[in-house]
Amino acid sequence: MTVALSGTVHGPHYKWIALSNTTLGVLMATINQSILIIALPVIFNGLKVNPLAGNQTGLLLWVLLGFNVATTVLLVLFGRLSDMFGRVRLYNLGFLIFTIGSVLASLTWSKGTAGEVELIIFRIVQGIGGGFLFSNSAAILTDAFPENQRGLALGLNQAAAIGGGIIGLLVGGALAATGHWRWIFLVNVPVGLAGTLWAYVALKEVVKRPVKQRLDIWGNITLTIGLLGIMLGLTYGIMPYKGHSMGWSDPWVLTGLIGGVIVLGLFVVIEMFTEQPLFNMKLFKIWPFTAGNLSGLLASLARGGLQFMLIIWLQGIYLPLHGVSYANTPLIAGLYTIPQMIGFFVAGPISGFLSDRFGARTFATVGMIVTALGFYLLTTLPMDFNHWLFWIYLFVIGVGMGLFASPNSAAIMNALPAEYRGVGSGMRSTFTNAGSMLSMGLFFSIMITGLAQKLPQAMQTGLTQHGVPLAGAIKVSQLPPTSSLFAALLGYNPLQNLLQQFGVLQQMPVSQVNYVIGHKFFPSLIGPSFMHGLNLAFTVSLIMSLVAALISAFRGKRYIHVEQMSSSNTGTV
């Protein structure tokens, strides 16, 4: 039996202590994510690694995605452990582990591939800490705040996450300019140390832990293997394989994806017959919980790959067309996406506050409709767009996401019995993170498929017309489009990087070299095919946003799980 205690047991101000500390944790984790994207060129330069070399692209993906993979795979397990042993206790442990991972990452001692592998390991350590933080933040807030303030609390928490993204862009750009890559990770340490000490001193358990609980070993094993298989499949599916531009035909990728789905099916069967399951499948009988997670998954699918696609659009096409050097595009591209973050930052807390009074359904539904409108508006933009329209459309998407996020999260958490809030929060975060990973794989596949059909011939023709020997032009044009996109993402000049690999630049007239590696040649080659795939991706996101809005509209009336010394009492309001 689990007893739900009032947050006022620890004083009327405890809820604000819980909000400020969990907000600090989310802020630290999101700064870590955005700061890395901006500073990747400096990091690889410090490690003496060419991330675009043939045997390095897989490691590049792990540097980018290792944190997310580790976090996603472990969220539900950590949520269940928190329900068993105390949410605050394991949240505090997450702060400590994340801080240790940051210190280790800054101390990466080797160079070359060995240094890159070490950095990946330390990023995974950060991801383990992040898993404890993300799986418990919403549960701690739900425990500490009364039902009529949870939307506001979650909205402020999520707004802080957006604020962390903005801070990470600015700090990452400033630190990258210094060339001292170790500070990229050390900047988290003071925040981590302060948060760790504060969490251990100030945070208290609000819900009594259940007695005689056992860990569901087989449930943990099958869920971990299933999620890991899918995450690895998605990660390597966007990499070239043999003569293919992507890896979806790679037997290992197919094994990971298909095997992961089968093992997750086995997980569901095990959970239905286990006395103390890792995740109680009966919770899906609570329709507000199920509807919230389904709409949250679709929203994550719709927006998860958006940032990735926008960054490539800006760094590979728009900014070079406007004379920005490739080395400066990562920071400027990040700044160009800030209106989306501002929209979320403004709408999130307001929507959370209003949903506490009037219910989540209207705000979450309208939020996804506004998001769909934003995706439609993006499809109307040309390759070389008006930047004011671009910023307005991103702001619209941010407002829509902000309107949706906190009411949906509050509705999910309100529907859960107190003893399941940890694992329920982990499941909610798993749907969100897995949706983002799947979205990235989906959008990237759409993009690469379109480029692979038209780009090789266009590149071969364009290169030979500007003095590149035919043999060199053929070699460069036959490389997967992934090479060019990753180069642009990292702030490298794509064609200069590719032509140098084959020693072609030395064979060309100087005037032609300057044009081919200039600001306009590569965007003109890649632009038409890229925009076709980009608009298709935006259209898919629009459709998923509308479906999420439809599910949200039918989530039912306002639903609150009522605790009365047991977990069997529920009620609707």
- Which of 224, 313, 360 is closest to 537 using CA atoms? 313
413: CB partners within 8 A, 6+ apart: 138, 139, 141, 142, 150, 154, 421, 424, 425, 428
Q: When comparing pLDDT for 90 and 557, which is higher?
A: 90
Angle at 328 between CA 322 and CA 329, to 5 degrees: 60
Please give the CATH topology (third level) of the domain spanning 284-573: Growth Hormone; Chain: A; (1.20.1250)
Contacts 24+ apart (CB under 8 A), 83-86: 83/209, 83/210, 83/213, 83/419, 83/420, 83/421, 83/422, 83/423, 84/209, 84/210, 84/213, 84/215, 85/209, 86/205, 86/209
pLDDT level of residue 87 (50, 70, 90 thresholds):
confident
pLDDT (tens digit, 9 = 90+) per residue, 108-125? Answer: 988 888 988 999 999 999
Q: Is the pLDDT of residue 187 over 70?
A: yes
Interhelix angle for 251-273 vs 217-237, to 10°?
A: 150
> What pLDDT shows up at residue 263?
94
Second CATH level (architecture) for the domain 1-214: Up-down Bundle (1.20)
| pLDDT given at position 565 | 30
pLDDT score of 272: 87
Strand-pair category, 571-572 with 559-560: antiparallel
Q: Which of 519, 567, 465 is nearest to 316 (CA)?
A: 519
**DSSP secondary structure code for residue 310 in this structure:** H
- Decide which of 211 and 35 is more confident: 35
The Cα 123–Cα 183 span in angstroms is 15
Amino acid letter, 142: T
For residue 132, give Cα distances in angstroms to 88, 389, 436, 569: 10, 40, 19, 29
What is the DSSP code (8-state) at residue 274? Answer: -
Q: Which residue ranges make up each domain of the chain?
A: 1-214, 216-277, 284-573
CB atoms within 10 A of CB 382: 9
Task: Taking residues 369-378, report their average pLDDT.
Answer: 96
H-run or E-run covering 559: strand 559-560
CB 331 within 8 A of CB 176: yes
What pLDDT, in 10s, does the model give residues 301-342?
Answer: 888 778 778 888 888 889 988 988 888 888 888 889 889 889
The two structure tokens encoding residue 429: 């975060």
Position 470 scores a pLDDT of 83
Closest by CA to 568, choosing from 420, 412, 423, is: 420
Within a 13 Å sphere around the CA of 94, how many CA atoms are in the beta-carbon half?
32
The percent of residues in the chain predicted with pLDDT above 90, rounded, is 19
Question: What 3-state DSSP class applies to 240?
Answer: coil
Question: What's residue 192's pLDDT?
Answer: 86
pLDDT at 4 over 90: no
**What local confidence, expressed as pLDDT, does residue 476 receive?**
80
Tell me how far apart the alpha carbons of residues 415 and 436 are, in angstroms, rounded to a whole number.
Answer: 24
Spell out the SS3 assignment of 409-439: HHHHHHCCCHHHHHHHHHHHHHHHHHHHHHH
Beta carbons of 294 and 551 less than 8 angstroms apart = yes
The yes-or-no answer to whether 1-214 and 284-573 have a common fold is: yes
Question: Quick one: average pLDDT of 152-160?
Answer: 82
pLDDT in tens, 208-253: 666 667 778 888 889 889 988 988 888 888 788 877 778 888 899 9
Q: Per-residue pLDDT tens for 517-557?
A: 888 888 888 888 888 888 888 999 999 999 999 999 988 66
Q: What is the pLDDT of residue 1?
A: 42
Q: Say what the pLDDT of residue 526 is.
A: 84
pLDDT, one tens digit per residue, over 552-567 is: 998 866 555 554 333 3
Token output for 141 = 């807030």
Which 8-state DSSP code applies to residue 560?
E
Mean pLDDT, residues 461-477 taken together: 83
3-state secondary structure of 248: coil
Both tokens of 563, joined, read: 């605790």
CA 279 to chain centre: 23
**What's the mean pLDDT when you consider all of the chain?**
83
| Token duo for residue 247 | 């890896």
Of 558, 514, 193, 221, the residue nearest 362 (C-alpha): 558
